[in-house]
Amino acid sequence: MGSPCTVTRRLVAGGILIAAVFTVFQVLGYHSDTLPPANNDVYRYTVQAHGATGAGPDEAVRRAAADWCRSRYGNDTASRRVEGVVDAEPNPKVYRDCMDWLTRHDGTTERYKEIFYARPGYPFLASLIAPLTGVWAALWVVSLAFTLAGGALAIVLIRLAGGSVRGAWIGEILFFALPTGSLGVQRLTDGPAVTLTLAALVGAVLLACRRSLLPGTFALCGALALGYFVRYSAFTLLCAALLVASLICLGRRGSRHAGTVALAGVSSVGLVGITVGARLMGWPGASSTMQDTFTDHFKQPDVADPVHQLVRLNTEFWSYVPWQHQTAAFLPIALCGLALAALWRTDVTVAVLTICLLVVAHPVYGQYARLVLPIWLLPVLGLPFLTPKRSAEDRAPHDRSPAAAVKSTA
């Protein structure tokens, strides 16, 4: 039987190898520089990142426009070539027209810009790397780094839930192969937000399952604090979901202990703290983000009842999207069902906590892939438990029963 140190070294070595392969593929594909699904969002983060490097407002806009238009210029040429125009030449008009629109005719409203002013963490981190790489590459580097960290956290969570070394590697591979990896490396807050969500779940599992009060509280508080600066609205919902999950766990006899009480307390404090902090900073609330959805980025008058409109939008959206073959909506639903069953069979508390990750933003068809991104975390964490039963030597430390320990020393 392998010692715990040997198992840990094997786990870390395999995890690093998988992450290295993913990184190589991302670096090799960087030259394609294709534009992500939320184009205007990327441009707004680029403006903020340039501003964080010390550029004035007008200069930040000019530099961001140049970065963005160079990307669109290269993307236009690449798109025509892969469509079959092998000898397609770059079209300078694409760059000129792009710069003209962004610097002179950008109709983005101030209310829309305020939503991005309330997400300073991601562009600030990019500004720290920008002196070495430039802002445009720095945004990608930050997203890639967070995505790699997300793969590592998937390993940690699967091991905490009692998964095997092989299962942990499968979880990391799934994290990189599913949209959590492909969308996580885009120049958006999706990658950082997903990774910080996993970090919060690590803290929640440590508290509710392992009763590790100090490490669990530290991990959860750190994730929520960073999440506040990355995408505070999403982490407000996450705190509420964790609070509900902790109350459910407190209702179960086997999960009623100091760690679960601490989870409920930290979630409550996080919910109040993020809400109050956002209000003190003057950041837009949930109502503003709903109005943004319903008014074409505030270019039309506000709707009278945004909550009612959100309910109606959800009804229409989910009665339409699953039947469109392009979205493959039934695939994540099926995988989530299998993953939840596997987690429930393994550890009910972990299953309840993981369900809280399925917090979906306002549904918009054009951004469907990004909006359902949290759903993919359930297959990442649950499907590895459908693998064949693990051997005793690579069980997670807390999963070793006394009988197994006696047998291994015999």
Is residue 171 situated within a structural domain? yes
Q: Are 354 and 385 in contact (CB under 8 A)?
A: no
In this predicted structure, the answer to whether residue 140 has a pLDDT above a threshold of 80 is: yes
- Scanning 347-398, the segments in alpha helix (DSSP H) are 348-355, 368-371, 377-382
Q: Which pLDDT tens digit goes with each residue over 78-89? A: 777 777 766 667
Q: Which residues of 68-88 are buried (b: 16+ CB within 10 A; e: fewer)?
A: bbebbbbebebebeeeeeeee
Q: Which pLDDT tens digit goes with each residue over 97-118? A: 888 887 776 667 888 888 889 9
The pLDDT of residue 396: 59
| Of 195-199, 246-250, 372-376, highest mean pLDDT | 195-199
Number of domains forming the structure of the chain: 1
Model confidence at 139, pLDDT cuts 50, 70, 90, reads very high
Is residue 174 situated within a structural domain? yes
CA distance 39 to 68: 9
Nearest CA-CA partner of 209 in 404, 399, 403: 399
Is residue 71 situated within a structural domain? no
The number of angstroms, rounded, from the C-alpha of 325 to the middle of its chain's C-alpha atoms is 24
Is residue 81 situated within a structural domain? no
Is residue 51 situated within a structural domain? no
Q: Are 168 and 380 in contact (CB under 8 A)?
A: no
- Percentage of residues of the chain with pLDDT beyond 70: 88
Q: Which residues of 278-306 are buried (b: 16+ CB within 10 A; e: fewer)?
A: beeeebbebebbbbbbbbebbeeeeeeeb
Mean predicted confidence (pLDDT) in 228-247: 93
Q: Are 42 and 186 in contact (CB under 8 A)?
A: yes
Q: Count Cα atoms within 13 angstroms, Cβ side, for 285.
A: 8
CA distance 30 to 137: 9
Q: Are 26 and 144 in contact (CB under 8 A)?
A: yes
At 359, list the tokens: 């917090």
Model confidence at 277, pLDDT cuts 50, 70, 90, reads very high
Is residue 263 situated within a structural domain? yes
- Percentage of residues of the chain with pLDDT beyond 90: 50
Write the DSSP symbol of residue 210: S
Please state, as a whole number, how many other Cβ atoms lie within 10 Å of the Cβ of residue 158: 26
Mean predicted confidence (pLDDT) in 64-72: 88
CA distance 169 to 158: 9
The number of angstroms, rounded, from the C-alpha of 84 to the middle of its chain's C-alpha atoms is 35
What is the pLDDT of the chain when averaged over all its residues? Answer: 85
Contacts of 249 (CB under 8 A, 6+ apart): 208, 255, 256, 260, 263, 349, 352, 353
The whole domain housing 210 covers: 4-32+109-396
Nearest CA-CA partner of 243 in 372, 362, 381, 352: 352
Q: Which pLDDT tens digit goes with each residue over 5-48? A: 887 889 999 999 999 999 999 998 876 665 666 678 899 999 99
Lowest-confidence segment of 269-273, 289-293, 317-321 by average pLDDT: 317-321
Is residue 376 situated within a structural domain? yes
In this predicted structure, the answer to whether residue 206 has a pLDDT above a threshold of 70 is: yes
Q: Are 220 and 263 in contact (CB under 8 A)?
A: yes
Mean predicted confidence (pLDDT) in 344-362: 84
Mean predicted confidence (pLDDT) in 303-327: 79
Please state, as a whole number, how many other Cβ atoms lie within 10 Å of the Cβ of residue 343: 24
The pLDDT of residue 389: 61
The pLDDT of residue 366: 73
CA distance 330 to 78: 32
CA distance 353 to 146: 22
| Of 58-62, 268-272, 397-401, highest mean pLDDT | 268-272
Contacts of 193 (CB under 8 A, 6+ apart): 227, 230, 231, 234, 235
Is residue 159 situated within a structural domain? yes
Q: Are 365 and 405 in contact (CB under 8 A)?
A: no
Mean predicted confidence (pLDDT) in 143-163: 95
Higher pLDDT among residues 399 and 70, named by residue: 70
pTM here?
0.89
Q: Are 69 and 99 in contact (CB under 8 A)?
A: yes
Lowest-confidence segment of 181-190, 242-251, 322-331, 363-372 by average pLDDT: 322-331
| Of 70-84, 88-102, 372-386, highest mean pLDDT | 372-386
